[in-house]
Amino acid sequence: MASLQKLSRDFLSAFDEKKYDNAAEIIPKLKLEFAKEGILSPTPKFDPDDLLAARQLMEMAVLVSIFANRTQDEVERLISEVQPFYSPNLGLPKSDNENKILGLYLLLALTNNRISEFHSALENIDNPEDDKYLNYPVLLERWLMEGAYDKAWKAITDTNQFPSKEFMILMKSSSDNLEATVRNEIALCLEKAYTSLPVHSAKYLLYLKSDADLQTFVAERAERGWQLQAQSLLFKTEVEKRIAEEDEEISVENNEEYLINSVLNYAAKVDVIV
């Protein structure tokens, strides 16, 4: 227990001095000590004070790992380790950080496009609209689903809109971050909805800064039928593809054999009944 106390003191002082890297170093050791005590799978048999202390340290560990720019996987693992502490059968008072941690978890689920996980987590939450940490991922998801990409884009790029610094750092941390996801979604919509777009509008709609960016973006999608011609972006093949698909369907439709087969089948069955 002595080493645990020392570790947590070191951890807290590193946190206060904002030496996040140092603090992050301590996390694995701290978790090891917790694991020895068995408190990582909390049950009501533990002393409430111990549980509270452990919960607080684990919460801070999540925040530290975000500040120290650890990978999303690591942050997520830590979050999943804090969550058992929020279980109502422990009878602990509600933590101030609970909503923030949950909000971060929702954001991670959203970033990695695990929508069903996002919604499962949301089922647990009573009024997400009333909390700024929870409201952020909820609104973001709503905008993405509705297709209000302009609002979503603003929310993930405008620093003022983040409910706290952790959200921003987490958002920027991964390589396939939300910006890329949103842009990709927009691209998928564009190719279905337009036959052609002027270059400047395409740039504007896709939130790309320069012509060069647009060129690389289009080049990546060349096999999907994107091409730049003169001053406009063409999605022509999309329409052609659709027509081709319809033609194919028609040829299947004329499959008389299918019709004969099923009618014979019905006849046989009716025969059995009569």
Partner 1 sequence: MSTAVVSPGESAQSAVTYLSKSGTSFDSRFTLKILRNLPTIRKQVDATNLATLIAEHYDETYAKTILDLANLNYSGEFGQSVPISPEVDAFLHLLVQVWAINEDGVDTEKLMRLGQLSVKHLADSYNRRSLDHFNSKIWFYYVRAAELSKNLFSRELYSEMMTAYRTACLRHDFETQSMLITLLLRVLIFTNQIGTASDLVAKTTFPEGNASNSLAARYHYYLSRINAVELDYGTAYEQITAAIRKSPHTPAATGFLQTANKLSVLIELLTGDIPARRAFGSREQPELIAPLQPYFALAKAVRAGDVNQFQNALKTHEAALKKDGNLALARRLRQNVIKTGIRVISLTYSKIPLKDICLKLCLDSEESAEYMVAKAIRDGVIDATINHQKGYMQSLDSSNVYASTDPQECFDERIKFCMSLHDDNVKSLRYLSSDLKDDLRDLQEAREREKELVSEMQDTSDLDDDDMDFDF
- Span 148-187, contacts to partner 1 by CB under 8 A: 148-151, 186
Our CB check for partner 1 shows the closer of 16 and 246 to be 246
Write the DSSP string, 89-112: GG-PPPPTTHHHHHHHHHHHHHHT
**Local structure of 232: helix, strand or coil:** strand
Measured in residues, the chain has a length of 274
CB of 189 vs partner 1, minimal distance in Å: 4
Contact criterion met (CB below 8 Å) for 95 and 72: no
Return the range that interacts with partner 1 (CB under 8 A); candidates 13-21, 54-62, 83-91, 217-225.
83-91
The site string for partner 1 over 29-58 (x = CB under 8 A, - otherwise) reads: --------------x---------------
| Residue 245 binds to partner 1 (criterion: CB under 8 A) | no
| Residue 139 binds to partner 1 (criterion: CB under 8 A) | no
β pairing state of 196-198 and 227-229: unpaired
| Residue 201 binds to partner 1 (criterion: CB under 8 A) | yes
Contact criterion met (CB below 8 Å) for 155 and 182: no
| Residue 193 binds to partner 1 (criterion: CB under 8 A) | yes
What value, to the nearest 5°, has the Cα angle with vertex 99 and ends 136 and 72?
75
Of 104, 245, 109, 111, nearest to 184 by C-alpha is 111
Could you tell me how many helices (H) and strands (E) the chain has, helices first? 14, 3
| Residue 147 binds to partner 1 (criterion: CB under 8 A) | yes
* Binding test (CB under 8 A) with partner 1, winner from 5, 71, 87, 157: 87
* Binding test (CB under 8 A) with partner 1, winner from 36, 119, 132, 165: 119
**Local structure of 136: helix, strand or coil:** helix
Instruction: Return the number of other C-beta atoms located less than 10 Å from residue 53's C-beta.
Output: 15
* Binding test (CB under 8 A) with partner 1, winner from 198, 211, 213, 267: 198
Task: List interacting residues with partner 1 (CB under 8 A).
Answer: 43, 87-89, 115-117, 119-120, 122-124, 126, 142, 145-151, 186, 188-190, 192-195, 197-198, 201, 205, 246, 249, 252-253, 259, 262, 266, 269, 273
